[in-house]
A and B are shown apart, each in its own frame.
Chain A
Amino acid sequence: MKPVREIRSRTVVLPVENVDTDQIIPARFLVTTSREGFGKALFADWRWEKDGRPKGGFALNRPEAQGARVLVAGRNFGCGSSREHAVWAIQAGGFEAVVSTAFADIFRGNALKNGLVPVQVDEATHARLVEAPGEEVAIDVEARQIALGRVRSPFPLEPFARYCLLNGLDELAFLLSREREIAAFEAAPAPWRSP
């Protein structure tokens, strides 16, 4: 994982609530054994006509959306399935952060494990961002702040997740370093932990 310290980018605004993982990446694109090649799959049914032409009205297809690395979306983003492919597809689409007022739990966890920053902001900050599509924002992971113009707003990020983002560390290395404790736990009696 690459370290993530600061993201400065224009935004793409998708002002839809409850964006579910079936919209982010429809299940038919999950029939693969790879982590790659999901760029076209991102929001496939909202973004492309059946013949593959881009749907004109969709936010990600507008000219000003090209090259944007921050996606602003409505409440409860990423609800639905546990598919990490949703995060891989968003990253394949060039995004490094998603801003919403609330994230579904599994999506949030998956995002952090891949260095995609879930930026959870209050309603007022969200409203300002929604009203300013294409504006540049600055997301500071260390300070846990997002800035739009001169207005800075905090977002929650627990210390461990922040540490992993800033240092590009993945959780598996941390878990493997706890081998001694895991082995001790397994050695302790626990009759209900059969088979």
Chain B
Amino acid sequence: MEGRRTLLEKIWDAHLVSAESDDTPAVLYVDLHLVHEVTSPQAFADLRARGLRVRRPERTVATMDHAIPTRSGPDGRRAPAEGAAAEQVSALERNCRDFGVTLYPVGDDRQGIVHVIGPELGLTHPGSTIVCGDSHTSTHGAFGALAFGIGTSEVGHVLAAQCLLQREPKTFAAEFDGILPRGVTAKDLILALIARIGTGGATGHAVEYRGPAIRSLSMEERMTVCNMSIEAGARAGLVAPDDTTYTYLAGRPFAPAGEAWEAAVARWRTLPSDDGARFDRVERIDASSLAPMITWGTSPGMGIPVRGVVPEPDGDAGLEKALRYMGLEPGKPLLGRRIDVVFIGSCTNSRLSDLREAARVFRGRKVAPGVRALVVPGSEQVKREAEVEGLDRVFRAAGAEWREPGCSMCLAMNDDRLEPGQYAVSTSNRNFEGRQGPGGRTFLASPLTAAAAAVTGAIADPREVLR
């Protein structure tokens, strides 16, 4: 309806330096630019080559997460980055120093995966625009921010101009009715949506996750949902802010305080989509009908309920290719299938609540013989909080590795990789061929399902294991 705007449209309009026309994209202002060691060095090099400065260093925050080791050395401290990874680390240190950008390096108690530390430091604000040279920037949309991943050229644009040239995304309402059943998590909810609409299903759209099932999620669960928006092809994912959001943010280091807090909350309360606002596309899912999900193939859209069977390809070359790579037979269940590695971590599922869920399964149980289990906290803060609760002792007692914060085995860019042919159940976001190491085979699942696989040595229904 005329004049009734969606959350996306409100944020979009508030950040227009100049509106789009047929001939030119909009100039969109960026409130917060997050930077990491892998996608920024070439952008800083461009700035140097052109003699440019960082326009708004105070809107720019950097950390190290992708390429750094997460294992400890003999002295019990994090192993140092070596070779080309060490060069990326030192390049980021030099660039941040020279351009006046705040950096939380390895060793700082605020270091962590960029999409974990933004929210926990209170940098992620409702109604803001947030970008990072990483596709999982969509995570921050859980706060009702417009947050999206950009390439290295655009990292340079934001560093130099604090703006991007953008076309307004189309709007997509993903309505989740009902409430998630016990043992079914935010990860299962988003895997179910991607399985339904496909990895290109939301291309060109910003997805707003709505409905009672979303409202009842914690902030960390909403982050898991928004995180995987990109796996549906979406440009961004958003959840309207509410009291859950404000309770989470209040008192965090970079959240507004005092009168500024009151003013900010008053403003944020106007953000949710107006009743009757029109979306370009609507998809409805009954959350109460969902089950724990797991992917069987090499695309995040190849997901099935954990008790389901691997689909028949019916002549689809893509499905046949995925079956071959995964070494699976169609028509057979995954349940009971032996696995080699369990990875609990990544920007999708490495927050305190994820680790608590995994610990529920590990407590009083042992990692199955022959299985390697890694638990990688998303940040130094998550690590500290988990250790205060004794979660590290639960994981260690079960025989799992307790690591230093970072991206770790999500993407085979550091020391943590699958061996060729190994099967892993991972709480990360991508099961692409070789994603976790050349020849490695990934089943994506929730922390509960991953932990259930670790203690049984096979793909298992966490509801059965916890019974």
Residues of A bordering B, CB below 8 Å: 15-18, 20, 22-23, 26-28, 30-35, 45, 50, 74-76, 79-85, 87, 102, 104-106, 109-110, 113-114, 158-160, 163, 170-172, 174-176, 178-179, 181-182, 185-186, 190-195
B388 contacts partner chain A, Cβ-Cβ < 8 Å: no
Q: Is the CB of B88 within 8 A of A33?
A: yes
Q: Is the CB of A175 within 8 A of B27?
A: yes
Which residues on B sit within 8 Å (CB–CB) of A79? Answer: 199-200, 233
Task: Tell me the bound Cα distance from A175 to B157 in angstroms.
Answer: 8
Q: Is the CB of A105 within 8 A of B203?
A: yes
Residue from the set A82, A85, A186 with the largest chain B CB neighbour count within 10 Å: A82
The stretch of B125-133, B281-289, B457-465 that contacts the partner chain: B125-133
Shortest C-beta distance, A164 to chain B (Å), equals 10
Q: Is the CB of B17 within 8 A of A178?
A: yes
Q: Is the CB of A191 within 8 A of B264?
A: yes
Shortest C-beta distance, A95 to chain B (Å), equals 17
Q: Is the CB of B22 within 8 A of A159?
A: yes
From the candidates B153, B233, B317, name the one contacting A104 in the complex (CB within 8 A). B233
Shortest C-beta distance, A36 to chain B (Å), equals 10
Task: Tell me the bound Cα distance from A119 to B41 in angstroms.
Answer: 29
Q: Is the CB of B91 within 8 A of A33?
A: yes
Which residues on A sit within 8 Å (CB–CB) of B125? Answer: 192, 194
Q: Is the CB of A185 within 8 A of B199?
A: no
Task: Tell me the bound Cα distance from A114 to B151 in angstroms.
Answer: 11
Shortest C-beta distance, A12 to chain B (Å), equals 17
B263 contacts partner chain A, Cβ-Cβ < 8 Å: yes
**A82-B137, A159-B24, A191-B263 given; 16 more Cβ-contact pairs under 8 Å:** A15-B317, A16-B317, A20-B299, A22-B432, A33-B45, A35-B42, A75-B200, A81-B149, A82-B149, A82-B151, A104-B233, A172-B46, A172-B161, A182-B17, A191-B267, A194-B264
Residue of A nearest to B44 (CB): A33
Which residues on A sit within 8 Å (CB–CB) of B386? Answer: none
Within 8 A of A (CB), among B408-453: 411-413, 430, 432-435, 438-439
From the candidates A182, A190, A192, name the one contacting B27 in the complex (CB within 8 A). A182
Which residues on A sit within 8 Å (CB–CB) of B430? Answer: 20, 22, 80-81
Shortest C-beta distance, A114 to chain B (Å), equals 7
Task: Tell me the bound Cα distance from A194 to B32 in angstroms.
Answer: 9
Q: Is the CB of B151 within 8 A of A110?
A: yes
Q: Is the CB of A76 within 8 A of B156?
A: no
Shortest C-beta distance, A87 to chain B (Å), equals 8
A76 touching B167 in the complex, CB below 8 Å, given contacts A31-B84, A182-B161: no
B: contact size bracket: 35 or more
Q: Is the CB of A159 within 8 A of B23?
A: yes
Task: Tell me the bound Cα distance from A106 to B204 in angstroms.
Answer: 10
Residue of B nearest to A26 (CB): B434
Task: Tell me the bound Cα distance from A75 to B201 in angstroms.
Answer: 12
Q: Is the CB of A31 within 8 A of B25?
A: no
Q: Is the CB of A113 within 8 A of B153?
A: yes
Which residues on B sit within 8 Å (CB–CB) of A186? Answer: 29, 162
Q: Is the CB of A16 within 8 A of B151?
A: no
Within 8 A of A (CB), among B375-418: 411-413
Which residues on A sit within 8 Å (CB–CB) of B128? Answer: 192-193
Q: Is the CB of B438 within 8 A of A26?
A: yes
Q: Is the CB of B162 within 8 A of A182?
A: yes
Q: Is the CB of A81 within 8 A of B135?
A: yes
Task: Tell me the bound Cα distance from A83 to B318 in angstroms.
Answer: 23
Q: Is the CB of A185 within 8 A of B17?
A: yes
Within 8 A of A (CB), among B141-166: 149-154, 156-157, 160-165
Residue of A nearest to B270 (CB): A192
Q: Is the CB of B435 within 8 A of A32?
A: no
Q: Is the CB of A182 within 8 A of B254?
A: no
B38 contacts partner chain A, Cβ-Cβ < 8 Å: yes
From the candidates B22, B67, B165, name the one contacting A31 in the complex (CB within 8 A). B67
A80 touching B135 in the complex, CB below 8 Å, given contacts A31-B413, A160-B24: yes
A192 touching B127 in the complex, CB below 8 Å, given contacts A31-B413, A105-B203: yes
Q: Is the CB of B260 within 8 A of A194?
A: yes
From the candidates B18, B152, B299, name the one contacting A181 in the complex (CB within 8 A). B18
Shortest C-beta distance, A85 to chain B (Å), equals 8
Which residues on B sit within 8 Å (CB–CB) of A32? Answer: 84, 87-88
Q: Is the CB of A171 within 8 A of B260?
A: no
Within 8 A of A (CB), among B294-310: 299
Q: Is the CB of A27 within 8 A of B233?
A: no
Which residues on A sit within 8 Å (CB–CB) of B335? Answer: none
Which residues on A sit within 8 Å (CB–CB) of B25? Answer: 158, 160
Shortest C-beta distance, B24 to chain A (Å), equals 5
Q: Is the CB of A23 within 8 A of B38?
A: no
Shortest C-beta distance, A23 to chain B (Å), equals 6
Residue of B nearest to A176 (CB): B161
